[in-house]
Structure formats: structure tokens, C-alpha cells
Amino acid sequence: MPKAKPQEQLREEFNRWAEAGKGESMEHEHWPITKPTLELMQIARSDMILDVGCGGGWLSRILSQRVPQGHVIGMDISDEMIERARQASPKFQNLEFVTGAVDEIPCDPDSFSKVISVESSYYWPDPAKGIREIRRVLQDGGSAWILINYYRDNPYCHQWGEKLAVPTHLLSADEWTAMFREAGFMKAAHRRIVDPTPAPEIYTGRWFRDAKQLAEFRATGALLVYATK
Ligand SMILES: C[S@@+](CC[C@H](N)C(=O)[O-])C[C@H]1O[C@@H](n2cnc3c(N)ncnc32)[C@H](O)[C@@H]1O
């Protein structure tokens, strides 16, 4: 049987995650690194924000409340994630969810003042193309904010690659930042966002060897890459 195309593979895999309830449970895992990122973004009440790889839409909902005079679009390649995000957000007037892939964002040029993406970019089949697309939909002076937990400079996450059912990119902070510069972004930079959540005494999940490795992973922190158009 011919292999599924990368986008179809991603759609199928993340539809499975959605059906398993991960769209909702990832809020708990990703909020400790996302909260300080929102502070750095200096969100204005009228910002127009795109949330790339929005999953179950929890962050898009938080953002929509912070931009009462603006608008938020949550986009994801998984139609099942988008369906659940819509169902969970009936009362949000300035929020919409669309199915779409980052390398062909279904939005006009210059549509957004900010773009955020949390724990999605290492799955993108062609990250450089995704970053160019993000630049296309940003307004001049707009900014992009990409949070990445799986990156080369954090040795405590490298085992994830073989556990994930879809291909991933294990890139360094410098490689991610260079892609923003090569796409034409200005002031591309990166920093670490430490996760202060204490590790449990005993770890029973499948992503880390033990509680010590999880603690080291969190202390090393997520990579935040940010840049201005
Ligand atoms: C680990 S989940 C994170 C979801 C959400 N940002 C969160 O923090 O809960 C990664 C998400 O990225 C989406 N994704 C992966 N590749 C994508 C692509 N090429 N274009 C758009 N979304 C993508 C997946 O469908 C999935 O919902």
C-alpha cells in the first residue's frame, strides 16, 4: 500500500489524539510555558491573532478574552481537533476555528498582528515553508511566537522522536532562529521558558525515563523563538 502523504498522516494521527481527549488535556501540560510567553507578547486589546496548531482550542479561547476589540483564529490540520474546539467555544464572538495546514494557511496576506504556535512546529513537514507562510499572513510590524519543547539543545526530550507515530524535526535553537531570518523576519531571537511545575516523586508516563529526567526536562525549559515582520 502506498504511504500516506505527510499532511494526511498528521491529520489522521492528531484526529486520534483528539478522540483520546488530548486536545483538552494538553492545556494542563502546556499552560505553564504558555503563560509567560503571553506576558512577553504584550497583547493589545485590538490584536488580530492566529494560533497555529491550536489543538482543542484552549489557548485560542484565552487569547480571545484578551483581545475584546480584536479577533482570534485557531487553525489546525486535524479536523477532529477543530470540531472539538468549535464545540467547546459557542459563546466566543471574536473567535473562529479553521481546518488548515501551516504550509498553506487559508488566510489573506497581512491578516494578523500576532501569530503564536505552541508545541506544533516540529511536526510541520516543511518548517521553513510554514514560517514563510506565517510571515505572509502577518502585518508589517507583527510578531511570531513559536514554543517548542522538542529541540536539540534539550537532551531530556530526544527519546520522543522514536515514540511519536509521525515524523518530527529535532532542530537546535540556532537552526529554528535562522529559519525565521531566512524567511525575511527581523529581530529573530530565542530564549528558554522554564516550566516551574514540580515533577512527581514517581513518574509512570511513557515520555520520560523517570521523574528525574522529567524534572531535568522542565528545568532546561521550552524553546521560545520569536521574530518581527
Ligand atoms: C502537540 S499538539 C499541541 C496542540 C495545542 N497547541 C496545545 O498546546 O494544546 C500539536 C498540534 O499541531 C497540529 N499540527 C501538526 N502539524 C500541523 C500542520 N502542518 N499544520 C497545522 N497544524 C498542525 C496537530 O494537529 C496538533 O493539534
Render the chain in DSSP notation, one character per residue: -PPPPHHHHHHHHHHHHHHTTHHHHHHHHHHHHHHHHHHHHT--TT-EEEEET-TTSHHHHHHHHH-TTSEEEEEES-HHHHHHHHHT-TT-TTEEEEE--GGG-SS-TT-EEEEEEES-GGG-SSHHHHHHHHHHHEEEEEEEEEEESS-TT-GGGTTHHHHSSS------HHHHHHHHHHTT-EEEEEEEE---PPPPSS--SSSSSSHHHHHHHHHH-EEEEEEE-
> Quick one: CA dihedral 163, 165, 171, 172, positive or negative?
negative
Whether ligand 1 lies within 6 angstroms of the CB of 81 is answered as yes
Q: Is residue 72 part of a domain?
A: yes
Q: How many domains does the chain have?
A: 1
The answer to the question of residue 200 being in a domain is no
- Can you give the residue range of the structural domain that contains 67? 6-195+222-228
Q: Is residue 212 part of a domain?
A: no
Nearest ligand 1 atom to the CA of 22 is: 9
Is the residue at 210 inside a domain? Answer: no
Residue 95 within any structural domain of the chain: yes
Q: Which residues of the chain have pLDDT under 70?
A: 1-3
Return the CATH number at 46. Answer: 3.40.50.150
Q: Does 74 sit in the ligand 1 pocket, CB within 6 Å?
A: no
Residue 99 within any structural domain of the chain: yes
* Residue owning the nearest CA to atom 4 of ligand 1: 55
- Phi/psi for 209 (5° steps) reads -65, -45
Per-residue confidence (pLDDT) for residue 75, from 0 to 100? 98
49 CA distance to ligand 1 middle (Å): 16
Residue 2: the pLDDT is 55
- Which residue(s) pair with 223 in the sheet? 148, 192
127 lines ligand 1 (CB under 6 A): no
Cβ of 50 less than 6 Å from ligand 1? no
Per-residue pLDDT reduced to its tens digit, 103-125: 999 999 999 999 999 999 999 99
Ligand 1 near 123 CB (within 6 A): yes
Residue 68 CA to ligand 1 center (angstroms) comes to 25
Q: Supply the pTM of this predicted model.
A: 0.97
pLDDT for residue 123: 98
Q: Would residue 205 count as lying in a domain? A: no
pLDDT value of residue 3: 63
- Residue 202 in any domain: the answer is no
